[in-house]
């Protein structure tokens, strides 16, 4: 017997876990991978010098080895609950159940469609949070960030040199980044930059465009990740105003789920308690014949654990 306040429906939960919006590229889970934790969790932040300062390791014939003391700051966190409801009148559900349906295919039942739509909004909300976290100068060491302007912006093909800037940034962090994260507007410009095109094709080119895999190989990183999602920033009732979720910035980060699980430094991760859930419960107060309330949600917390493992280019393009 299910004794939770809001019954979980396995079929709807499967939809909530598996649904991916095909129309936009959401990259939150690539930028800050999910890491299973308790609802309240702890992690330790160690100072960088402890891993780079070499003590005297000589041991005399009858002496004791030197003792080192590793200290860190224990950080506490707690996941946040994020969820949405949709209310479906029983009239709509009964109308669907009574309509003729083909043997295969056909319309999706209202409850499944509701779970899909709610999941899309939950994912988009997380995308906005992660973009605001990764593309936030406050989450990087002061020495590991630049604000580009004028001729230094990569949209100035004649004067800027993004290849030199990116290689220099990769060499400047204590932990070399393994991922490059770009907003779509930055990627469209960067992939056509003469410095990048010439370096990839190894011959002078008047024009061209490079794929993400080629840039990753050129920079010797695991992956180039492009955030292409949109969000409507208009208030309810106003004309839609669609803006990119990931702005005109570029981040280089070291991101590894295995490192996070092994208590090794990584730029950030997402603490997740349990899995995404979905369920349905009757609601007799809405509609003459009552309704069904569909709920989708998850419990997560985005964490920046090692600011030294990242580099940030703000306003990379005009």
Produce one character per residue of 217-240: b if its CB has 16 or more CB atoms within 10 Å, e if not: ebbebeebbbbbbebeeeeeeeee
* Segments of the chain assigned E as strands: 34-36, 40-46, 72-78, 80-89, 145-147, 179-183, 223-227, 230-232, 242-244, 250-253, 268-283, 291-304, 310-314
Is pLDDT above 50 for 193? yes
pTM listed for this prediction: 0.86
Q: Can you read off the two tokens belonging to residue 109? A: 């039942």
Question: What is d(CA 73, CA 302) in angstroms, rounded to the nearest whole number?
Answer: 18
Q: Can you read off the two tokens belonging to residue 272? A: 């997740």
Question: Which pLDDT band holds residue 1 (cuts at 50, 70, 90)?
Answer: very low
> Pick the residue with more confidence: 6 or 187?
187
Q: What is the mean pLDDT of residues 47-72?
A: 83
Q: In this predicted structure, which of 67-81, 219-233, 302-316 has the lowest mean pLDDT?
A: 67-81
Determine contact, residues 304/92, Cβ cutoff 8 Å.
no
Closest-CA residue to 164 (of 172, 271, 28): 172
Is pLDDT above 70 for 190? yes
Is pLDDT above 50 for 293? yes
Rounded (10°) angle between helices 110-134 and 90-98: 120
- Select, from the ranges 26-35, 46-55, 257-266, the one with the highest average predicted confidence (pLDDT): 26-35
Determine contact, residues 31/222, Cβ cutoff 8 Å.
no
Q: What is the mean pLDDT of residues 130-146?
A: 97
Instruction: Give pLDDT tens digits for 223-236.
Output: 999 999 999 999 98
> Pick the residue with more confidence: 261 or 285?
285
- Would you tell me how many other CB atoms lie within 10 Å of the CB of residue 121? 14
First and final C-alpha spacing in the chain: 58
Question: What is d(CA 81, CA 129) in angstroms, rounded to the nearest whole number?
Answer: 13
Question: Could you tell me the residue ranges of all domains in the chain?
Answer: 10-53+70-314
Question: What is d(CA 186, CA 196) in angstroms, rounded to the nearest whole number?
Answer: 13
Q: What is the pLDDT of residue 269?
A: 93
Q: What is the pLDDT of residue 33?
A: 93
Listed in sequence order, the residues at least 6 apart from 237 whose beta carbon sits closer than 8 Å to its beta carbon are none
Is pLDDT above 50 for 3? no
Q: What is the pLDDT of residue 131?
A: 98
Q: What is the mean pLDDT of residues 249-267?
A: 83
Q: What is the mean pLDDT of residues 235-262?
A: 89
Determine contact, residues 229/245, Cβ cutoff 8 Å.
yes
Q: Can you read off the two tokens belonging to residue 260? A: 């996070």
Question: Which pLDDT band holds residue 14 (cuts at 50, 70, 90)?
Answer: low
> Pick the residue with more confidence: 6 or 226?
226
Listed in sequence order, the residues at least 6 apart from 76 whose beta carbon sits closer than 8 Å to its beta carbon are 40, 41, 42
Closest-CA residue to 41 (of 307, 303, 312, 318): 303
Question: Which pLDDT band holds residue 81 (cuts at 50, 70, 90)?
Answer: very high
Q: What is the pLDDT of residue 295?
A: 95
- Would you tell me how many other CB atoms lie within 10 Å of the CB of residue 71? 8
10-53+70-314 classified as CATH 3.90.1150.10 = no
Is pLDDT above 80 for 122? yes
Percent pLDDT > 70 in the chain is 91
């Amino acid at each position: 017997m299910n004794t939770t306040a809001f019954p979980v429906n396995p079929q709807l939960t499967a939809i909530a876990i598996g649904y991916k919006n095909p129309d936009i590229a959401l990259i939150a889970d690539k930028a800050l991978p999910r890491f299973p934790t308790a609802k309240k969790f702890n992690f330790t932040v160690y100072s960088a010098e402890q891993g780079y300062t070499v003590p005297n390791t000589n041991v005399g014939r009858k002496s004791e080895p030197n003792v080192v003391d590793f200290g860190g700051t224990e950080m506490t966190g707690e996941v946040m609950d994020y969820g949405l409801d949709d209310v479906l009148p029983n009239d709509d559900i009964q109308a669907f159940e009574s309509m003729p349906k083909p043997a295969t295919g056909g319309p999706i039942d209202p409850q499944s469609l509701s779970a899909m739509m709610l999941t899309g909004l939950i994912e988009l909300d997380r995308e906005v949070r992660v973009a605001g976290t990764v593309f936030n100068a406050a989450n990087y060491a002061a020495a590991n960030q630049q604000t580009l302007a004028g001729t230094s912006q990569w949209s100035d093909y004649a004067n800027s040199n993004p290849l030199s800037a990116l290689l220099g940034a990769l060499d400047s962090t204590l932990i070399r980044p393994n991922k490059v994260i770009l907003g779509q507007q930055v990627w469209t410009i960067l992939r056509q930059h003469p410095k990048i095109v010439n370096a990839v094709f190894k011959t002078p080119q008047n024009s061209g465009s490079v794929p993400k895999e080629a840039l990753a190989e050129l920079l010797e990183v695991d992956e180039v990740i492009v955030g292409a999602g949109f969000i409507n920033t208009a208030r309810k009732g106003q004309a839609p105003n669609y803006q990119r979720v990931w702005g005109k910035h570029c981040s280089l980060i070291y991101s590894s789920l295995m490192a996070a699980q092994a208590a090794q430094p990584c730029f950030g991760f997402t603490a997740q308690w349990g899995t995404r859930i979905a369920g349905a419960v009757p609601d007799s107060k809405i509609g003459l014949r009552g309704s069904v309330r569909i709920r989708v949600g998850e419990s997560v917390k985005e964490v920046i654990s090692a600011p030294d493992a990242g580099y940030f280019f703000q306003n990379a393009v005009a």
